[in-house]
Amino acid sequence: MVLALRLTGLGWYVAICIVVGVVGGLGLDKLAGTVPLFTLLGTVLGSIVAFWGLYKMIQPVLSGTKSGGSTDSRGEQ
Q: Which residues span the domain enclosing 57?
A: 10-61
- pLDDT score of 66: 57
Chain segment 27-75, per-residue pLDDT in tens: 999 999 998 999 999 999 999 999 999 999 888 778 876 555 555 556 5
Q: Residue 38 has what pLDDT? A: 96
Contact residues for 14 (Cβ-Cβ < 8 A; gap 6+): 50, 51, 54
Radius of gyration of the chain (CA): 18
- Residue 76 located in a structural domain: no
Euclidean distance between CA atoms 77 and 61, whole angstroms: 15
The answer to whether residue 41 sits within a structural domain is yes
- Total of domains in the chain: 1
Burial of 72 (0-12, 13-18, 19+ CB in 10 A): exposed
